[in-house]
Amino acid sequence: MSTIQTRGVVLRGRDVGEADKQLTLLTKSYGKIMVTARGARKPRSKFLASAQLFTYSDFIIYDGGRFYSMAQTDVIESFFKLRDDYIRLCLAQYFIEVCDKTTPFNAPCDELLHLLIISLSALAKGARSPYLIARAFEMKFFQVSGVAPETARCAKCGGALTQRVRFGEDGTVCECYERPAVRVSPAALAAVRYILLAGLPDIFKFTADPGTLNEIKAAAGLFFRAHFDARINSLDMLE
């Protein structure tokens, strides 16, 4: 049987059979795949650590044609500190749920994987506000998913943005826009522009007060509902 070698993050784990686990992984080059880890629920399983949610590992996987089975794993980063803080844990859950529910199987999505890893890592480190990390994740997620919001001019009429800027289904809009939109302050608009322009490792290097972050959250929520079908359950835990 041939094998593939990749690395990735555990998005979901489901118990199957006597002691096996079916893992949904977001992997480099192969995208989202489902892999059976035989015996992963046994206390002394060699897959025990790498089968945990959020864990980032190197994998060698048997490719059975119609199914994948785990051969070997080596943990790169468990993001263990996420488990110490309820808010950070909920947001990590939110990130993996967004990745899982918006990504089809077997399509490469290396940039999304990179975004997920740096976001989990920033959450686990605890140096920055978890809410700032969440807002940066959301805006960058839109961009790597190919639906980056317009922020330079009105997304509908193309006109210059006046003082009263709002955020609608395509991004920033002016008074011409009649569909639902949320008001965004100059500070929130500047933060969104920063996130979209920054390279992936730098997306958390901005400051914003809680009110500004809440405006971005409202804009991201509206934008997400307009562009994706998925219902994200883990957000409910944070309300």
Residue 154 near Zn ion by CB under 5 A: yes
Select the residue interacting with Zn ion from 115, 174, 196, 208 (CB under 5 A): 174
Helix (H, G, I), strand (E, B) or coil at 104: coil
- Compute how many other C-beta atoms are within 10 angstroms of the C-beta atom of residue 23: 27
Between 92 and 174, CB nearer to Zn ion:
174
Q: Which stretch binds Zn ion (CB under 5 A): 54-62, 76-84, 124-132, 168-176?
A: 168-176
Select the residue interacting with Zn ion from 60, 75, 148, 176 (CB under 5 A): 176
Residue 152 near Zn ion by CB under 5 A: no
**What gap in Å lies between CA 13 and CA 152, rounded to an integer?**
41
Between 70 and 219, CB nearer to Zn ion:
219
Spatial neighbors of 229 by CB under 8 A, at least 6 apart, are none
Between 179 and 231, CB nearer to Zn ion:
179
Beta bridge partners of 63: 2, 68
Nearest CA to 13 among 45, 68, 46, 55?
Answer: 55
Please say whether the beta carbons of 10 and 49 come within 8 A.
no
CB of 177 to Zn ion, least distance (A): 6
Q: Which stretch binds Zn ion (CB under 5 A): 71-79, 105-113, 146-154, 209-217?
A: 146-154
Q: Which stretch binds Zn ion (CB under 5 A): 99-107, 149-157, 220-228, 229-237?
A: 149-157
Q: What are the start-end ranges of the H helices in 40-185? A: 86-102, 110-125, 130-144
Binding residues for Zn ion, rule: CB under 5 A, are: 154, 156-157, 159, 174, 176
